[in-house]
Structure 1
Amino acid sequence: MSVRTSRSRAALLSAGAVALALVLSACSGGGIEGGGGGTGFVAGSDGIATVKKGERDTAPKLAGRTIDGGELDVASAYKGKIVVLNVWGSWCPPCRAEAANFVKVSKDLAGQGVQFVGINTRDTSTRPAQAFEEEFKVTYPSLYDPTGKLLLRFEKGTLNPQLIPSTIVVDREGRLAARAQTPLTEELLRKMLKPVLAEK
């Protein structure tokens, strides 16, 4: 093997390793600032952080274009409902792993006043996001937020999404009740929703 071939192979391997690291960190990192100690929420051993009913922050205004070209204002459209916000990207393997769980639970709880809404981020066009939704038969809407502007509306120190995927439960009064920053199984998703569903 020539020196030139060895160098070319080493350069390709190095570039591949860098690309893989970027993909992995994109799904587990996030680069969205916020959260931290002294904020009034409690994180359980299951990775779900919750806030007591009387201590919750109001959810930010989440409105804009959906990936199918429509318009959605979450607070107006789903006033009085529990809203499950799922931050996802079509490029994110953990998002793909949890997608079927969200579809199943969203259908099961639709009659109980629970509305699921996706926030699609970092997809450079809506085409891959639409393909993702077709593949997993997602029926609930997703806001298109390629640059993370909607995510930055969550104030630092609240239950803000810092990783992708993240899931946030907004209670019937429009307040931030729970957050998970890890891919959710069906069981964990139901566990996250159960106390908020039980609230009167």
Structure 2
Amino acid sequence: MRRRVRAAAVPAGAGLAVAALLLLTGAWTDHGGAPAGGAGGAGAPVRTTVRAAAGATVVDRDAREETPALAGEDLDGKQVSLAGFRGQVVVLNVWGSWCAPCRAEADDLERLSRQTRDEGVRFLGINTRDRDRAAAQSFVRAHGLSFPSLHDPTGELLLRFPPAVLNPQAMPSTLVIDRRGRIAVAIGGAVTAEQLRPLLARVVEEG
């Protein structure tokens, strides 16, 4: 059975996460030749087609992998878990108050969060490398963020993902998680509402 991962073109500015999804699905680029490590046969890995284009990478429904369990305190000390959003589409955004591209995208993310809430979309942040919650809380106030963010000062939550899915050194990063808790879209780098909205709509429309 062939599993397909397709890359969806979006305007320049959203990073390409092809390597992330190759690792995520155990895939490699299919150029028409034999997969690395052999020509197939019994016991050979399932082959996956990857078509790269400028923009974000969208994973077909039959090729998606589960998101690691994420739970902990938000910036106000309240308990938050990704599992609590199951049944809804989730935009998971990794950010830090020290990160200039994170500041650039924050207002757009908040606007899109408000616009899509009635569509069954929820936003969840992971605030990383802010050991002082006060700096992160100031960031939230400055941008009027209404969605919660898990406080992950040491990056422990990020380390639950394969490094190529969420690189702890690359900020910001954004994932769209489908209603079954699986990663459907991966974006590396800052993203605008205009870039993210059509990618998010694909997952919302799956029902």
Q: Aligning the two structures, in what range does the TM-score lie when normalised by the shorter sequence?
A: 0.7 to 0.9
Structure 1, unaligned runs of 5 or more? 1-33
Structure 2 partner of 1:161? 166
Offset of residue 156 of structure 1: 5.2
CA deviation profile, 1:50-81 (whole Å, cap 9, x unmatched) = 11001100010000011111111111x21100
Listed as ranges, the matches of 1:85-124 within 5 Å are 85-124=92-131
Q: Is the 8 A contact 1:42 1:51 kept in 2?
A: no
Give the TM-score normalised by structure 2: 0.74
> Does 2:155 match 1:148?
yes
Unaligned runs of 5+ in 2: 1-18, 29-47
Q: Which residue of 1 aligns with 2:20?
A: 35
| Letter of the structure 2 residue corresponding to residue 176 of structure 1 | I
Seen in structure 2, the aligned counterparts of structure 1 residues 42 and 67 have a Cα distance that, compared at 3 Å, is farther
Question: Residues 90, 180 of structure 1: CA spacing in aligned structure 2 closer, same or farther, 3 A cutoff?
Answer: same
CA distance in 2, matches of 1:42, 1:146: 35
Q: Which residue type is aligned with residue 89 of structure 1? A: G
In structure 2, which of residues 42, 47, 54 is the aligned counterpart of residue 45 of structure 1?
A: 54
Q: Which of 59, 63, 72 is residue 55 of structure 1 equivalent to?
A: 63
Letter matched to residue 45 of structure 1:
A
Question: Residue 168 of structure 1 contacts residue 180 of structure 1 at CA under 8 Å; is this kept in 2?
Answer: yes
Letter matched to residue 72 of structure 2: G
Give the alignment's Cα RMSD to 1 decimal.
1.6
What TM-score do the two structures reach when normalised by structure 1? 0.77
Q: Which amino acid aligns with 2:20?
A: G
Counterpart in 2 of 1:71? 79
**Size of the alignment, in residue pairs?**
163
1-structure distance, mates of 2:113, 2:57: 21
Contact 2:21 2:57 in 1 (8 A): no
User: Cα distance 1:36–1:112, how it changes in 2: closer, same or farther (>3 A)?
Assistant: closer
Identity of aligned residues (%): 42
- What amino acid is aligned across from residue 35 of structure 1 in structure 2? A
Structure number, greater radius of gyration: 1
Distance 1:94 1:107 in 2: 21
* Contact kept in structure 2, 1:79 and 1:172, CA below 8 Å: yes
Q: 1:123 to 1:43 in 2, by over 3 A?
A: farther
Q: Residue type of the partner of 2:74? A: T
Residue 187 in structure 1 maps to residue 194 in structure 2 = yes
Q: Cα 1:135–1:43, aligned 2, differ >3 Å: closer, same or farther?
A: farther
Alpha carbons 1:42, 1:49 under 8 Å: kept: no
Counterpart of 1:84 (choices 91, 95, 103) is 91
AA matched with 1:189:
L
